[in-house]
Homo-oligomer: A and B are copies of this chain.
Amino acid sequence: MKDSHTLGVVGCALPDRESWARPSNTLDLHLWLRLLTCSTLVENRVRSLMRSQFETTLPRFDLMAQLADAPRGLKMSELSRRMMVTNGNITGITDQLERDSLVERVKVDTDRRSCIIRLTAKGRQSFRSMANAYQNWVGESFQKMPLERRQLLFELLGELKAAGLADQTPPGSA
């Protein structure tokens, strides 16, 4: 399949994660590096804001977000799958959040080796204010793009995910 593509002008702006791709590279490589650039730009911004406004990190926020809608809590393995990182990562973040009384580990009667992690009342309250701010920051990042283009982008990313990405078990989260 021929990958004819032209590089948009934005590729010529500030050098970033997509700058190293050459015109001779495939569209897929350019597409991937641009996806990565957009993702890194937003992530760097919200990471910085999360630190300055709430003195916390994105992995801590992400873990709390996954627990927010699971009043009975989630197993480590389920958290790991949803956050798409290894169990080892989850353990460290959970330890920190537990020290700050934002989450608690609850023993499972049926399985002595495993436990459930859930938000405490303090964690739930803390998450709510962070989530509001987070949603606003993301809105600021995207606001200059017309709504119908954002909707189309949302659809296309859904197609990308459905068209194969979802089949690929993230190796880190086994």
Q: Interface of A with B (CB < 8 Å)? A: 1, 3, 5, 8-11, 13-17, 19-20, 22, 25-32, 34-45, 47-49, 62, 65-66, 68-69, 78, 81-84, 134-135, 138-139, 141-145, 147, 149-166, 168, 170-173
State the Cβ distance, A32 to closest chain B Cβ, in Å: 5
Tell me if B84 and A139 are in contact (CB < 8 A). no
Known: A26-B139, A27-B150, A31-B142. A45 touches B157 (CB 8 A): no
Chain B residues in 8 Å Cβ range of A45: 168, 170-171
Q: Which 8 A-B pairs have the closest CB atoms?
A: A48-B171, A144-B164, A44-B170, A8-B158, A39-B39, A144-B163, A145-B163, A20-B65
Tell me if A162 and B10 are in contact (CB < 8 A). yes
Tell me if A170 and B41 are in contact (CB < 8 A). yes
By beta carbon, the residue of chain B nearest A31 is B154
Tell me if B39 and A36 are in contact (CB < 8 A). yes
> What are 7 contact pairs spanning A and B, CB under 8 A?
A13-B162, A32-B141, A34-B154, A44-B170, A45-B170, A48-B171, A142-B160
Q: Which of B9, B149, B164, B168 contacts A156 (CB 8 A)?
A: B149
Known: A19-B82, A141-B32. A161 touches B26 (CB 8 A): no
A152 to B41, CA, bound (A): 20
Tell me if A84 and B31 are in contact (CB < 8 A). no
